Homo-oligomer: A and B are copies of this chain.
Amino acid sequence: MKVRIGVNGFGTIGKRVADAIARQPDMELVGVAKTRPGFEARRAIERGYPLYVSGAGTPEKFAAAGTKVAGRFAELLGQVDVVVDATPEDIGRENKALYEKAGVRAVFQGGEEADVAEASFNALANYDAGRGKRFLRVVSCNTTGIARAAAVLVPRWGVSRWDVTLVRRATDPGESKKGPVDGIVPTLEMPSHHGPDVRTIYPELPIATAAVVVPTTLMHVHVNHVRLTRPPADTAELVRAFAATPRFQLFRAGDGVDGTPQVMEFARDRAGVGSRLSGDMPENVLWERGVRLDGADAYFFQAIHQESIVVPENVDAVRAMFDLAKDRDASIALTDRTLGIARS
């Protein structure tokens, strides 16, 4: 029996999660929901996903735009075991009452406050925390990136102090209204919300985060300095640990990857290789030359593709909630095989 899933919200995250779920052998994508017609709505039809109207949308509005829908969101709710809610920030919380009333479970995104769910989730870091839950929250793109890195560092060497500067993209590549066009905007709130958010997964982690926003659309970049409690022997050991972990992509000196433009070019290049279809980069991206150990101090850059990094995490979240895999590694392996995510 496959778990029956609806995806509510079919924007940047929702459409990718729908594609990912459609490839899982133990899940059935029953339908997706959207409030407004447009090219992203038509994409659902093109891919054969039953499309439902949610929020303030109406079937008439969709019909006027030439898009035939399968019904209203309430009808989708009646056919599913769980909803992945990929609606904009704070809408997920509003939707929760609907899910409770319909008796369906839900996965929320990191734009919601942590208390919307029973637990915050990252597959590598706390897969078991998701088991059997009715409401789970996949942490945001930046928090996911940090949590994965923590899953490498914390169990192996202990972390006594972690500073992260997040250099954040201004907006997504498909958006044209937000800036800045030329300038750097510091997030004056310090520490930024990312540190506390990581502690929804690693409650005791001594992490401090600070953020700036810069005029790029491609990826975030994290600049990390971690004081390790029981450090490894050398930089090479640190690099090997990242390389041996699923969902990490390391670039090496000869690769010709200088920055995020080349990382995303690499991602586009891999589309269609193996099971990898889109031009996404759901892995944490590190540069081997950008990892350094100096005594107990580890330094590394990592680039985070805000559009796709949480996609495999949503799949694993469902799997944990319904106990579909025997353990974390089995779930991750299945997700990654179906999505063409390879370790370095």
**Residues of A in contact with B (beta carbons under 8 Å apart):** 15, 19, 36-40, 43, 46-47, 64-66, 163, 165, 167, 169-171, 173-186, 188-191, 208, 210, 212-219, 221, 223, 225, 251, 254-262, 264-266, 268-273, 277-279, 287, 289-290, 292, 294, 297, 299, 301, 303
A287 contacts B186, C-beta separation under 8 Å: yes
- Is there contact, CB below 8 Å, between A301 and B271? no
| Choice from B39, B169, B214 contacting A216 with Cβ under 8 Å | B214
Cα distance A15–B254 in the bound complex, in angstroms: 19
Find out whether the CB atom of B299 lies under 8 angstroms from the CB atom of A208. Answer: yes
Other 10 A-B pairs with CB < 8 A, given A170-B179, A171-B179, A174-B268: A38-B255, A167-B214, A175-B179, A178-B179, A183-B216, A183-B264, A210-B223, A214-B215, A215-B216, A271-B278
Q: How many copies does the complex hold?
A: 4
Question: Is the Cβ of B254 less than 8 Å from the Cβ of A218?
Answer: no
Which residues on B sit within 8 Å (CB–CB) of A171?
A: 179, 181
Bound CA span A269–B10, Å: 11
Complex-state Cα separation, A297 to B163, whole angstroms: 11
Q: Which of B183, B208, B251 contacts A261 (CB 8 A)?
A: B183
Contact call B176/A262, Cβ cutoff below 8 A: yes
Q: A64-B254, A183-B259, A221-B212 are in contact. Are A15 and B269 (CB under 8 A)?
A: yes
CB distance from A180 to the nearest CB of B (A): 4
Q: Provide a sorted-by-A list of 25 A–B residue pairs whose CB atoms are within 8 angstroms.
A: A38-B255, A39-B266, A40-B269, A46-B270, A47-B272, A163-B163, A165-B165, A173-B182, A175-B179, A176-B183, A176-B185, A176-B258, A176-B261, A176-B262, A178-B178, A180-B259, A181-B217, A182-B216, A184-B219, A184-B221, A186-B223, A186-B303, A188-B290, A190-B292, A268-B279
Tell me whether B272 and A277 are in contact (CB under 8 A). Answer: yes
Complex contact B221–A37 (CB within 8 A):
no
- Cβ of A40: which chain B residues have Cβ within 8 Å of it? 256, 265, 269
A64: chain B residues at CB < 8 Å are 254
A174 touches B261 (CB 8 A): yes
Whole-angstrom distance between the Cβ of A335 and the nearest chain B Cβ: 18
Most central of A36, A182, A272 by chain B CB within 10 Å: A182
- Contact for A38 among B174, B180, B213, B256, CB less than 8 A: B256
Pair B225/A163 contact, Cβ less than 8 Å: yes
Residue contact B182 to A217, C-beta cutoff 8 Å: yes
Distance in angstroms between the alpha carbons of A282 and B185 in the assembled complex: 19
Sorted from nearest, which 3 A-B pairs have the closest CB atoms?
A174-B265, A185-B259, A38-B256
From known contacts A184-B214, A188-B287, A261-B183, infer whether A254 and B176 are also in contact, taking CB-CB under 8 Å.
Answer: no
